[in-house]
Amino acid sequence: MFDKEDRKAYCRVLAAVALSGGGVSMEEFANYESRMGMALLTPQDRAMLRQELKRGRSFPNAADGMHPAHLRIALRDALLMAAADGHYDSREMDVVKQLAERAAFSPEDLEELYDWIDEGWNWMKKGRRVLSLPEEVHHWSTVYED
């Protein structure tokens, strides 16, 4: 289990990726809220982090001092969040690459993580097909602009 500081740093890493794209989409914001819940942060900490995200606070050093294993989990979840709105923004990917370097994650490891996410999206599409629902759902919009 992450200690409290790593849990907050984890959320700030996710915020850094979400904000780097120029705005936070509804899907990214929903993902961020979900991840804050999973981090078991207090309501006060969640409110503070939510306000930091809304204000567009920059988190260039969010990963400083994080346990390496926790940083890798943050990297995985940041990539999932970046994909939540249907595309990877090049600015988001720049932040992801920086995180990968800090986590001693090779380019090959990062490519494998991208592949894993693609497989997951395809698995979800198949589930929608089985349910006779549209495979593609386009309801993206921006929550917070620059």
Give residue-wise pLDDT tens across range 57-114: 767 688 888 888 999 999 999 888 888 777 788 888 888 898 999 889 999 999 999 8
Alpha-carbon gap, residue 88 to 23, rounded angstroms: 13
Res. 136 pLDDT band, cuts 50 70 90: low
Residue from 7, 4, 5 nearest 73 by CA: 7
Where does the pLDDT of residue 125 fall: very low under 50, low under 70, confident under 90, or very high at 90 and above? confident
Confidence band (pLDDT; 50, 70, 90) for 137? Answer: low
Contact 19, 87 (CB under 8 A): no
Give, for 144, the enclosing helix (H) or strand (E): strand 142-145
Q: Which residues of 16-54 are buried (b: 16+ CB within 10 A; e: fewer)?
A: bbbbbbebbbebbbebbeebbeebebeeebbeebbebbe
Mean pLDDT computed over 21-37:
82
Which tens digit of pLDDT belongs to each residue from 103-115? Answer: 899 999 999 998 9
Looking at residue 58, what is its pLDDT?
A: 67
